[in-house]
Amino acid sequence: MKDFSKILSDWYLKSGRELPWRSTKNPYFIWLSEIILQQTRVEQGLPYYERFIEHFPEIQDLANASQDKILQLWQGLGYYSRARNLHATAKQIVAEYDGVFPNSYEIIHKFKGVGDYTSAAIASFAFGLPYSVVDGNVYRFLSRCFGIATPIDSSQGKKEFAKLAEKLLDKRNSGRHNQAMMEMGAIICKPMNPICMDCPFVVNCIAYNLGEIDQLPVKTKKLKVRTRYLNYLIIHNDTSVVITARKKKDIWQGLFEFPLIESEYDLEVAELVSDERFVAITNGKGILKSSSEQIKHLLSHQKLFARFYWIKVKNLSSFKKYKVVRFDDLVHFGMPQLIVKYLKVHRVKPVKTDQ
């Protein structure tokens, strides 16, 4: 298409959103924003970006922070491996590059949690290097505008879109060009109801002219969603409660939670209390005072059904395997959003009861 990058750039300069990471060339800030925005909408990611910049104004501050602090600030954003990767990479840049963010696509690409898209984004936004980005927004915009029906999740599709994006790239203004491509998909060529009447490509857009907008882009694989049942034991006395860190390579790794019994289906109370894991966790102590309704919590690839069981014990000193913390101090521990929401509704403190 003739003048593609000029049309795109003119539109972006007039209509692109002003976002804090767009007005900086600081590669540390740009990298931070890119990791935060992976699988996250701009509106949701913005306060996290500001919080991280405020707490860690330099990459050295992030490198020197504790993992618990980072996970706590990340709380609610999901995909916690991103926060762990941020920390590992900050440490690596301080140790191996004297705290100076490297201006090489190849080096950036080797950092944890950084793939083709993120390396191209950082390299072009921060250093003006001639790499084109292809994220979900760009796939959608290009597939509609150029009428490409090759599945975007196939290796052939990935190659085809990467090649087209590279061909279209304005190499002298790679950062602005890439921002504009993504912005077009984010605010005009949206997944549902694209605003074609405001689109500068409407005259040339193949999907629009053939009435095929709803059919593009094409994906082959359907996301498999796993269903899990989580039974949380809130073992407590009047002031304190037992928590533990999630160590396994799974969702929420590194976050804190109450002792958990995972089951294949929604357990009856009688089944739960007779489960050998329940007996092992509670040491056969405590009185089950109440249980919550079933709470549904959706992740992009998992459907979680949780129940919380309040178990009151006289003395928490025998729960040596766990961390015993005051209810008031729970706020200092990074916990999954599912638990944070539940505690908010229940105002954290359990009703005081006589045992």
Catalytic residues: 34
Per the listing, tokens 């980005």 go with 133
Binding track over 85-124 against ligand SF4, x by CB under 6 A: ----------------------------------------
**Residues whose CB falls within 8 Å of the CB of residue 262, separated by 6 or more in sequence, listed in order:** 228, 229, 230, 231
The DSSP element (H or E) to which 242 belongs, if any, is strand 240-245
DSSP string for 293-339: PPEEEE-SSEEEEEEEEEEE-S--TT-TTSEEEEGGGGGGS---HHH
Neighbours of 265 (CB within 10 A): 9
> Closer CB to ligand SF4, residue 196 or residue 295?
196
> Closer CB to ligand SF4, residue 217 or residue 254?
217
Q: What minimum distance in Å lies between the beta carbon of 148 and ligand SF4?
A: 12
Q: What minimum distance in Å lies between the beta carbon of 188 and ligand SF4?
A: 5
- Is residue 46 a contact point for ligand SF4 (CB under 6 A)? no
Per the listing, tokens 């709470």 go with 295
> Closer CB to ligand SF4, residue 4 or residue 31?
4
Q: What minimum distance in Å lies between the beta carbon of 216 and ligand SF4?
A: 8
Q: What minimum distance in Å lies between the beta carbon of 90 and ligand SF4?
A: 38
Q: What minimum distance in Å lies between the beta carbon of 333 and ligand SF4?
A: 45
Binding range to ligand SF4, per CB under 6 A, among 192-200, 222-230, 265-273, 292-300: 192-200
How far, in Å, are 39, 116, 149, 163, 209 from residue 218 at the CA level?
19, 21, 6, 18, 18
> Closer CB to ligand SF4, residue 73 or residue 216?
216
- Restricted to residues 196-255, the positions that interact with ligand SF4 (CB under 6 A) are 196, 199, 201-202, 205, 207-208, 213
> Closer CB to ligand SF4, residue 93 or residue 207?
207
Half-sphere exposure for 160 (CA within 13 Å, toward CB): 15
- Is residue 145 a contact point for ligand SF4 (CB under 6 A)? yes
How far, in Å, are 26, 172, 289, 337 from residue 33 at the CA level?
11, 23, 45, 21
> Closer CB to ligand SF4, residue 141 or residue 256?
141
- Tell me which of 114, 165, 168, 189 binds ligand SF4, using CB under 6 A: 189
> Closer CB to ligand SF4, residue 201 or residue 308?
201
Neighbours of 133 (CB within 10 A): 27
- Is residue 141 a contact point for ligand SF4 (CB under 6 A)? yes
Binding range to ligand SF4, per CB under 6 A, among 12-20, 47-55, 137-145, 226-234: 137-145
Please say whether the beta carbons of 148 and 208 come within 8 A: no
Per the listing, tokens 């959103």 go with 17
The DSSP element (H or E) to which 257 belongs, if any, is strand 256-257
Rounded CA separation 335/246 (Å): 10
Tokens of 275: 């489960």
Q: Which of these, 115, 121, 117, 156, lies nearest to 22 by C-alpha position?
A: 121
Cis peptide before 20 (omega within 30 of 0): no
- Restricted to residues 169-188, the positions that interact with ligand SF4 (CB under 6 A) are 188
Count residues contacting ligand SF4 (CB under 6 A)? 14
Tokens of 124: 């072009």
Binding interface with ligand SF4 (CB under 6 A):
141, 144-145, 188-189, 194, 196, 199, 201-202, 205, 207-208, 213
